[in-house]
């Protein structure tokens, strides 16, 4: 399966999701001349994308803004979602709160490990560059990148003032932001000493990328486990969870989780259908972009539909279930396709 095929399929799927015309679907190239698409980005385009501000402040544009200017920016462009003083937890987690003068001295926020019921941005963030960068690239949510650099300095200064990190008459600028970093309440909070497993004392996701002689054929098995003491800590999880949808809880004392309804990941057909991304448009038990596989099984019950369906999937097509077309599924080998179709025809 080539990357190009994947990219092409992604484009087709985006197309299906956006309900664009069938003509566009039919006219999409099949493996031809895609390498000729596009052009080299111009320096101006690269510059427009290259906006990250790093912890050493590389990438930070020049500029400055006062706390009081920041309050005007906040009230006009931020408060509607984040609350008047950055404390609202209605839309997303609050930005300000939970830090103390002692934290600013220590560089580690005590309430992170205490009884504070929620975590605010100022409690968590270790680098002021991240705060600046995030506001600059992503906020206001409804108009990202609409703020001038000076307004980003100003509104960052305002938030820092709400957290008592800088005084009310402060002007934040590219020249003094490094000093402000030395007052961030959680500046010493970045650590790898927080493994999920007690006593491990290290992050859980250490890995070294294979750079040479990597086995392309290795099958990756994604598993998720939880230590028994954690699993049963709150009683019968299965009984506490929703009984609808694909996710089921774990029965206390059970050696394996109950098989989720409709998703039997151990069945090869189901596994292949996920692997070949059929499940982006299909589910076994309900209609998505395409018909549910249970419906398909009902429709062809008692008929010898195996070969016709395999051909249809391979070639794509429309009309059997409505006007929405299925793009050709060229990437799936014949033997796997046979397995998947067999599985579909058994779906309930």
Please identify which residue in 148, 191, 202, 318 interacts with ligand HEC, judged by CB under 6 A: 318
89 binds ligand HEC (CB under 6 A): no
By C-alpha distance, which of 317, 321, 343 is closest to 329?
317
92 binds ligand HEC (CB under 6 A): yes
Cα 165 to its chain centre, rounded Å, is 31
296 binds ligand HEC (CB under 6 A): yes
Min dist CB 113 to ligand HEC, Å, is: 18
How many residues contact ligand HEC, by CB under 6 A? Answer: 50
Q: Scanning residues 133 to 152, which ones bind ligand HEC (CB under 6 A)?
A: 134-135, 139-142, 147
118 binds ligand HEC (CB under 6 A): no
Question: What does the block give as tokens for 336?
Answer: 């796997």
Question: What does the block give as tokens for 56?
Answer: 């050493």
252 binds ligand HEC (CB under 6 A): no
132 Cβ neighbours under 8 A, 6+ residues apart = 53, 60, 152, 153, 156, 177
CA distance 158 to 236: 47
85 binds ligand HEC (CB under 6 A): no
Please identify which residue in 60, 67, 77, 187 interacts with ligand HEC, judged by CB under 6 A: 77
Given the rule CB under 6 A, which of 39-47, 60-68, 198-206, 283-291 is the region that contacts ligand HEC?
283-291
Asked if residues 248 and 261 have their Cβ atoms less than 8 Å apart, the reply is yes
CA distance 243 to 237: 12
Min dist CB 293 to ligand HEC, Å, is: 7
308: left (phi over 0), alpha (psi -120 to 50) or beta: alpha
Sign of CA dihedral 56, 59, 64, 65: negative
Question: What does the block give as tokens for 63?
Answer: 């500029």
Instruction: Tell me the per-residue interface mask from 156 to 195 with ligand HEC, x by CB under 6 A, - otherwise.
Output: ----------------------------------------
By C-alpha distance, which of 242, 323, 277 is closest to 5?
277
Please identify which residue in 171, 248, 321, 330 interacts with ligand HEC, judged by CB under 6 A: 321
Please identify which residue in 31, 55, 201, 322 interacts with ligand HEC, judged by CB under 6 A: 322
Contacts 24+ apart (CB under 8 A), 44-53: 51/133, 51/136, 51/137, 51/145, 52/133, 52/137, 53/129, 53/132, 53/133, 53/136
Min dist CB 313 to ligand HEC, Å, is: 5
Cα 238 to its chain centre, rounded Å, is 26
CA dist list (Å): 262 to 259, 273, 343: 8, 13, 12
Please identify which residue in 53, 155, 166, 180 interacts with ligand HEC, judged by CB under 6 A: 155
Instruction: Tell me the per-residue interface mask from 56 to 75 with ligand HEC, x by CB under 6 A, - otherwise.
Output: -----------------x--
277 binds ligand HEC (CB under 6 A): yes
Min dist CB 99 to ligand HEC, Å, is: 13
128 binds ligand HEC (CB under 6 A): no
Sign of CA dihedral 297, 301, 306, 307: negative
Please identify which residue in 166, 283, 309, 347 interacts with ligand HEC, judged by CB under 6 A: 309
CA distance 323 to 216: 39
**Which C-beta is closer to ligand HEC: that of 64 or that of 277?**
277
Given the rule CB under 6 A, which of 61-69, 223-231, 256-264, 281-289 is the region that contacts ligand HEC?
281-289
Residues that bind ligand HEC (CB under 6 A): 13, 16, 73, 77-78, 80-82, 91-93, 95, 121, 131, 134-135, 139-142, 147, 155, 273, 276-278, 280-282, 289-291, 296, 309, 312-313, 317-322, 324-327, 329, 332, 340, 344
């Amino acid at each position: 399966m080539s990357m190009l095929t994947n990219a092409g399929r992604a484009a087709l799927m985006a197309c299906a999701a956006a309900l664009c015309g069938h003509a566009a679907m039919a006219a999409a190239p099949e493996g031809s001349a895609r390498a000729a698409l596009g052009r080299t980005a111009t320096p101006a385009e690269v510059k427009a994308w290259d906006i990250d501000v790093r912890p050493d402040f590389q990438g930070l544009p020049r500029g400055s803004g006062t706390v009081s200017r920041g309050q005007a920016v906040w009230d006009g462009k931020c408060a509607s979602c984040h609350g008047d003083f950055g404390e609202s937890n209605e839309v997303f987690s609050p930005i300000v709160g939970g830090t103390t003068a002692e934290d600013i001295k220590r560089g580690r926020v005590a309430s992170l490990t205490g009884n504070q019921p929620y975590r605010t941005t100022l409690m968590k963030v270790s680098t002021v560059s991240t705060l600046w960068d995030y506001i600059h690239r992503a906020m206001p949510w409804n108009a990202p990148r609409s703020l001038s650099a000076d307004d980003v300095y100003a509104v960052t200064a305002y938030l820092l003032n709400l957290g008592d990190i800088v005084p009310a008459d402060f002007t934040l600028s590219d020249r003094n932001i490094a000093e402000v970093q030395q007052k961030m309440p959680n500046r010493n909070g970045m650590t790898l000493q927080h493994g999920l497993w007690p006593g491990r004392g290290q992050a859980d996701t250490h890995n070294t990328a294979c750079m040479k002689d990597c086995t392309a054929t290795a099958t990756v098995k994604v598993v998720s486990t939880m230590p028994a003491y954690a699993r049963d800590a709150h009683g019968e999880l299965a009984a506490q969870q929703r009984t609808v949808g694909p996710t089921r809880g774990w029965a206390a004392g059970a050696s394996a989780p109950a098989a989720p309804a409709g998703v039997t990941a151990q069945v090869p057909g189901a596994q292949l259908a996920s692997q070949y991304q059929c499940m982006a448009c299909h589910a076994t038990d309900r209609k998505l972009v395409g018909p549910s596989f249970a419906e398909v099984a009902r429709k062809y019950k008692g008929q010898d539909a195996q070969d016709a369906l395999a051909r249809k999937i391979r070639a794509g097509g429309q009309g059997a279930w409505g006007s929405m077309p299925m793009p050709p599924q060229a990437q799936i080998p014949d033997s796997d396709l046979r397995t998947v179709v067999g599985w579909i025809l058994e779906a309930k």
